[in-house]
Amino acid sequence: MSAPPSPRHLLIPFAGRSSPACREALAGLRLPKLEALLSRLALVSGDTQDDITLSPPHERALAKSIGISAADGCIPWAALEARRLGLAPTDAGASWGAATLCHWQVGIDDVVLGDPSAIEIDAAESAALLAVAQPFFAEDGIALHASSAPGRWLACGKIFDGLATASMDRAVGFPISEWSPLSDAARPLRRLQNEMQMLLYTERVNDERAARGVPPINSFWLSGTGSLPASFIGLPSSEPEVVGDLRAPALRDDGAAWAAAWQALDQGPIFELITACANGADVAITLCGDRGAQCFGVQSRGIGQRLRSMFSRPSAAAVLGGL
């Protein structure tokens, strides 16, 4: 007897987007494979909150799926990566945060956070800037470590314990004043950000970047702060597959590119999920927007429910528009 197909779970951030161009694109978006998939599945769980939460729906959904419960802005992504890398705090009571190098776009009235994925930083640049930054962070009791990705450092210190911070995916494209932590506890971090602006301005790395015509790296964004809960025993054997194709066009509100990315997903991973479902696999899909997330999965249904699903497919636009 052959083994049953492996379970598969797709988690799609930015499946719905409330920005003007993406909302307009949604009205004309046709996703037949997604609608066919949803007609086979049932809504398993949902999570809807305001779009001003520090942790966006896709991060809340991912944390839930791997067994992490945390307050808003305190999902300990940095601590999880530190554990994966075998890093441990040097001081009792120290927590973790992720310091992501970025470009702050300075305007007349506001300073806007640019998307770090667009700054094209390599491992050598990241290592050079890390060596420069480490002494400045150390003065505030913060140890900096390289991570698995160039341009993202893991920071460890007592200052991060209980400090809520906004996800990068919330803050990109907005004035930093709207999403920066404003508590007294975060004051050293705001000072460090300003110091890094002045420090990085003079670094040879940025001179070389200017010569290549790419944006300078002039500060960092802190997110993923906190400690792993004591009850966390490790990652489950199967994690959701996070599909990041919609992120970039959604963040820059490029409706045409967002719609094109959705159509590619519909013909690719969504179709593959339908095929897996038809072959008896336990499949699930979590669709996430600015305010909420909805998880659809396989559930036993009566004959009447199955017949209705054959003749009445859910509207993708209605589902995505409600996120």
Are the CB atoms for 48 and 18 separated by under 8 Å? Answer: no
Sign of the C-alpha dihedral computed for residues 136, 140, 145 and 150 taken in this order: negative
What is the torsional sign of CA 128, 189, 209, 247?
positive
Q: Per residue, what are the HEC states of 33-100?
A: HHHHHHHHCEEEEEEECCCCCCCCHHHHHHHHHCCCCCCCCCCCHHHHHHHHHCCCCCCCCCEEEEEE
The separation between CA 269 and the C-alpha centre of its own chain, rounded to angstroms, equals 19
pLDDT mean for each 10 residues of the chain (323 residues): 70 97 95 95 93 96 93 95 88 87 84 87 90 92 93 94 94 92 83 84 82 86 91 78 96 97 97 92 95 89 47 79 92
pTM of the model: 0.91
Instruction: Identify the pLDDT of residue 4.
Output: 57
Nearby residues of 38 by Cβ (< 8 Å), 6 or more positions away: 285, 296, 313, 314, 316, 319
Q: Both tokens of residue 185?
A: 């506890």
Q: What pLDDT does residue 56 have?
A: 97
Please report, for the chain, the start and end positions of each structural domain, with discontinuous segments joined by +: 8-66+240-321, 77-226
